[in-house]
Structure 1
Amino acid sequence: MSLLTATDIYGGYGGADILKGAGLRVETDEIVVIVGPNGAGKSTMMKAIFGLLRVRTGQVLYQGDDITNAKPEQMVRRGIAYVPQEKNVFPSLTVEENLEMGAFLMSRDIKPRLEKVYAVFPKLRDRRRQQAGLMSGGERQMVAMGRALMIDPKLLMLDEPTAGLSPLLIDETFERIKEIQALGIGVLMVEQNAKQALAIAHRGYVLATGTNRHEDTGPNLLANREVAEMFLGG
């Protein structure tokens, strides 16, 4: 049984479908990447899965249960965490306060969770008293990902985690994503740095005009001439 399966998804905004039969699956402990041109429906797919966009037709299964059009708070309680591309931290709160906010639905002691986050992101321990709004873009992304980990997720969804980052921080972000996957957490992400993302992916999906154009392992997609010429810049 797959961790997550989305099948034949149709949905969009204002009555117009952006997704036109797209689908994907994520197995446990797997990094899956969605790539494709602008307007292909990549972020829309993430929002549809997480309940931020209504699925008109199609089905989303999580650990075998139908979660199609479930509310985001229900997703969180089931162990699905979502990090949007923008507005993903509370700028007026400290790093540690941001992390604590990630566990607001949890009743258990959060100290072990904080320690797990600090183990993945040691910089956050050093900056835990700093106001998040005063941090760099890369540091804020660490805070956002760390906050998502506070629910002990089984699935982490990342929408453009390296957007706007320097090459050095992009490399560091991908290293942290690999560390998160090594903890036994499935990762589903949309990523503009397609080549680097596919290099760490167990499997990838290429979306175009709301439909699946290609599905394969990360290495195979990188080696696919059509994918390289049409979607990866040659």
Structure 2
Amino acid sequence: MPLLEACGVHGGYGGMNILHGVDISIEANEVGVIIGPNGAGKSTMLKAIFGLLQVTEGEIRLRGAPIHNQPPNRLVKLGMGFVPQEHNVFPSLSVQENLEMGAYLKPGSIKHNLGNIYEFFPPLKDKRRQPAGELSGGQRQMVAMGRALMAEPQLLLLDEPTAGLSPKYMNEIFERVKEINSAGVGILMVEQNAKQALAIADKGFVLAAGQNRFTDTGQALLADPDVARSFLGG
């Protein structure tokens, strides 16, 4: 059974639907990428999965069990992590304190998990005593991802993890995404850097106006002339 399966999801804000029947499915060993124009409902879909907005119709399942409209703290206990695009670190806390904040459900595994995070993100070990607010944008993103991983999720949701980053850090974040997935964490991320994201994706979901426009493997979507023309800049 899929790690995550969303079927016909409708939802939005203030009684107004932004999602109009979105379908998404990924396996535990896969990287899934959601792309599409601004306002397509990409980040809204991640928030619906993580219980941050009301699903009004449809179903979301984690390992076959319905999870839609459950609170985020419950979803973290069930094995889900979420890294928002903005305000995703505690700037006055040190790097290590930020990471330890993510281990509140796994207090006995802090030392072991810190070692894993420093292996995934070597720059953080040298800066572990530095306030997170003093780091570069790319390093702050590493802290945010690392903190989510401290809870040992089976599924990690990433909202625009490379937004505003230099090409160097963008490539590094994508490399780390692949490594984290290879270590056994399923990943679903929203990305504006669509070509680069689809290049590492097992599955891609192209949304437009809150609906699936295309769904296929990352490589198939990159090769699709209709996708390229409408969503990848030609």
The aligned counterpart of 2:31 is 31
The aligned counterpart of 2:116 is 116
Determine the C-alpha separation between the residues in 2 that align with 1:203 and 1:109: 32
Deviation sequence 1:113-161 (CA, Å, 0-9, x none): 0001011001111100000011111110000000011011100100000
The aligned counterpart of 2:73 is 73
Structure 2 residue identity aligned to 1:205: F
Determine the C-alpha separation between the residues in 1 that align with 2:137 and 2:112: 26
Superposed displacement of residue 16, structure 1: 1.0
Deviation sequence 1:85-108 (CA, Å, 0-9, x none): 000000010000000000112242
The aligned counterpart of 1:94 is 94
The aligned counterpart of 2:177 is 177
Structure 2 residue identity aligned to 1:202: D
Structure 1 residue identity aligned to 2:23: G
Determine the C-alpha separation between the residues in 1 that align with 2:109 and 2:154: 19
Unaligned runs of 5+ in 2: none
The aligned counterpart of 1:8 is 8
Superposed displacement of residue 169, structure 1: 0.8
Determine the C-alpha separation between the residues in 1 that align with 2:109 and 2:24: 35
Determine the C-alpha separation between the residues in 1 that align with 2:179 and 2:66: 29
Pairing of 1:1-234 with structure 2 (within 5 A)? 1-234=1-234
- May I ask how many residue pairs the two structures share in their alignment? 234
Determine the C-alpha separation between the residues in 2 that align with 1:168 and 1:118: 19
Determine the C-alpha separation between the residues in 1 that align with 2:117 and 2:191: 22
Matched position secondary structure for 2:11: strand
Determine the C-alpha separation between the residues in 2 that align with 1:55 and 1:193: 27
Superposed displacement of residue 109, structure 1: 3.0
Determine the C-alpha separation between the residues in 2 that align with 1:191 and 1:109: 31
Superposed displacement of residue 14, structure 1: 1.4
Matched position secondary structure for 2:77: helix
Determine the C-alpha separation between the residues in 2 that align with 1:166 and 1:109: 33
Matched position secondary structure for 1:227: helix
Deviation sequence 1:151-191 (CA, Å, 0-9, x none): 11100100000000011110111011111011011000000
Runs ≥4 residues deviating over 6 A: none
Determine the C-alpha separation between the residues in 2 that align with 1:137 and 1:43: 20
Superposition TM-score, scaled by structure 2 size = 0.99
Q: Give the % identical residues.
A: 61
Superposition TM-score, scaled by structure 1 size = 0.99
